[in-house]
Amino acid sequence: MKRPSVMKRKRLGVTNYKKRLGLLKSGQHRLVIRVSRKGIIAQLVDYNPSGDKIVLTVTEKTLTKLGINLEGNNTQVAYLVGYNLGLKAKKHKIHQAILDTGRFNIIKGGRIASVLKGVTDSGLKVPHEKSVFPSKDRLAGKHLKNKVDIKATIPLMEEKI
């Protein structure tokens, strides 16, 4: 008797195919957010039968190229990454997306929620619940030693994009 085969990505705990199928049925661009120990990646992805196609990508290194010198992957960096992605999406005439966090859960006030706040503040429509967003104090960086004035940074970012 042969054992039933299980997809490798499911067996390794990398992909939740039930959740992925639900996201793909929407037919919208997927806003993929991944947080690592060193940085944050936000992408807009389209489904393609031969493999997903990445439309846009923004990381914390993209902010450095724009002249915003921030290190790490804190709440402020996450917000600015999301805001930058939203501005680029508007430039590419993308107005809607659906959030894809993969195997990660959204934590209230966390970095994924901060990226989502940045994306929605830039004008991209993403279904969300406002209760998960970080507080204004966290976005202002009052908990950080090396904080950035976001209100002054956003106009500079808009000029360069």
DSSP secondary structure string for all residues of 43-108: EEEE--TTS-EEEEEEEHHHHHHTT----S--HHHHHHHHHHHHHHHHHTT--BEEEE-TTPPP-T
Q: Which CATH class is domain 26-160?
A: alpha beta
Quick: pLDDT tens for 90-144: 999 999 999 988 878 889 999 999 999 999 999 999 999 999 999 998 888 888 8
CA 98 to CA 110: how far, in whole Å?
Answer: 18
Q: Report how far apart the first and last C-alpha atoms of the chain are (Å, whole number).
A: 60
The 97-100 sheet, strands edge to edge: 53-59, 40-46, 29-35, 97-100
User: Is the confidence at residue 49, as pLDDT, over 70?
Assistant: yes
pLDDT average, residue stretch 2-16: 75
CA 94 to CA 76: how far, in whole Å?
Answer: 24
* For the chain, counts of helices (H) and of strands (E): 7, 4
Per-residue pLDDT, 1: 67
Place of tokens 């966390």: 110
What Rg, from alpha-carbon coordinates, does the chain have?
17
- Residues of the chain with pLDDT > 90, as a percent, come to 45
Quick: pLDDT tens for 50-84: 988 999 999 999 888 888 887 778 899 999 999 99
Per-residue pLDDT, 151: 83
Domain ranges across the chain: 26-160
Ramachandran angles phi, psi of 63, nearest 5°:
-65, -35
User: Is the confidence at residue 86, as pLDDT, over 90?
Assistant: yes
User: Is the confidence at residue 15, as pLDDT, over 80?
Assistant: no
Quick: pLDDT tens for 16-32: 777 777 777 788 899 99
